[in-house]
Amino acid sequence: MWFYWTTKTKHLLFKGVDINGTTATFEACVVLFLATFILEGGKCIMLYWNTRLAQHPLTYGQTDHKHQDRNPLFNSLMIPSSLEHIKRRRAKYHIFSCLSHIFNLILGYLVMLAVMRYSIWMLVAVLLGSMVGYFIFGALGHNVQLKYTSLLMVKETMDIGHINHSHEYPDGPSSENRF
């Protein structure tokens, strides 16, 4: 009903999980901190798979070095060898994106339910976990976005005299996000 500085919580998320006393509250807060930290990591992982899904299929040859990704005839152009390989790769990206989405949903709802107990200590633990998690995984996610959304196709670079940056580079990675 309102925020408490509690040291006693009955039935935290599961029946029988009772928090009594300061050490138990501290342990519960550490668990929540780690859960929120992992949640931020899960967001980074989901961002990675969605960025790979948004990546232009003809640039798979530049980022993935299995032999199917490069057509042996046009090996130097680094384009994938067939539509089947593109489809298989994108199916894999979709499956992993879905799995990471499910994981994030479950963990996110569990953290939300813990915050819903209106304990200020637990809210502080969640905020700290989200701060540290975003500091590390947020930067990682931005680098991942930068890497996979600024790939160029080789044929665009053959116009040596007319390399036009405003045409080739996207307007910031966020415009490439299609979740």
State how far the Cα of 104 lies from the Cα of 121, in Å rounded to an integer: 23
Site pattern 17..56 for another protein (x: CB under 8 A)? --------------------------x--xx--x------
Tell me how far, at minimum, the Cβ of 73 lies from another protein, in Å: 12
State how far the Cα of 38 lies from the Cα of 29, in Å rounded to an integer: 14
In this structure, which amino acid lies at residue 96? F
State how far the Cα of 77 lies from the Cα of 70, in Å rounded to an integer: 8
Site pattern 70..89 for another protein (x: CB under 8 A)? ------xxx-----------
Specify the residue, 15 or 67, whose C-beta has the smaller distance to another protein.
15
Helices (H), the chain: 22-54, 60-63, 83-115, 120-133, 139-149, 154-157, 165-168
Give me the helix-helix angle, 120-133 and 83-115, nearest 10°: 150
Considering only residues 11, 66, 88, 92, which one is a binding residue for another protein as defined by CB under 8 A? Answer: 11
Binding site for another protein (CB under 8 A): 1-4, 6, 8-11, 43, 46-47, 50, 62, 76-78, 105, 108-109, 111-112, 115-119, 123, 126-127, 130-131, 134-136, 138-139, 141-143, 146, 150, 152, 154, 157-158, 160, 163, 165, 169, 171-175, 177, 179
